[in-house]
Amino acid sequence: MKPDRKSKLYVHLLFWILYYILEVYLDFYWSRYQFPDAGWQQRLQNTIVLELGYLLIKMPLAYSLLYIYEQTGLKRFITYISCCFIIIAAVLVHRLFTHYIIYPYIYNVVETLDAKHPSGFINGLVAFNSFMDLIFMAGLIFGVEITRQKNLLKEQISLLKSEKLDQELTMLKAQINPHFLFNTLNNIYGMALKKADETPEVILQLSKVMRYNIYEASERYISIDKDVENIRDFLQIQQIRHHDLVIHFNENLDNPSQSISPLILIQFVENAFKHGVSETLGQSFIRIDIQLNNGVLHYHIENSKEEKPHGNSTKIGLKNIRRQLELLYPKHILTVESKNDLYIVTLIIDFNDTSRF
Which residues have C-beta within 8 Å of that of residue 251, sequence separation ≥ 6? 228, 290
Q: DSSP characters for 57-87?
A: HHHHHHHHHHHHHH-TTS-HHHHHHHHHHHH
Do 290 and 297 meet the contact criterion of CB atoms below 8 Å apart? Answer: yes
**What's residue 173's pLDDT?**
60
Q: Cα-flanking dihedrals φ and ψ of residue 235, to 5°?
A: -65, -35
Domains delineated in the chain: 3-156 (no CATH), 196-350 (3.30.565.10)
Q: pLDDT by residue for the chain (357 residues), tens digit each?
A: 566 777 788 889 999 999 999 989 888 888 777 777 778 888 888 888 888 888 889 999 888 888 888 776 667 778 888 888 888 888 888 888 887 888 787 777 776 654 344 444 445 667 788 888 888 898 998 999 888 888 887 877 776 666 566 665 665 565 555 666 776 788 788 878 888 887 888 888 888 887 887 777 777 788 999 999 989 988 888 887 777 788 999 999 999 999 998 888 888 888 887 776 655 556 788 999 999 999 999 999 998 876 655 544 445 567 778 887 887 888 899 999 888 788 899 999 999 875 555
Report the 10 Å Cβ neighbour count for 52. 12
| Among 25, 35, 30, 28, CA closest to 111 | 35
Write the CA distances from 80 to 84, 86, 357, integer angstroms.
Answer: 6, 10, 43
Distance separating alpha carbons of residues 66 and 8, to the nearest angstrom:
13
pTM for this entry: 0.53
Axis-axis angle for helices 266-274, 316-328 (nearest 10): 160
Distance separating alpha carbons of residues 266 and 286, to the nearest angstrom:
13
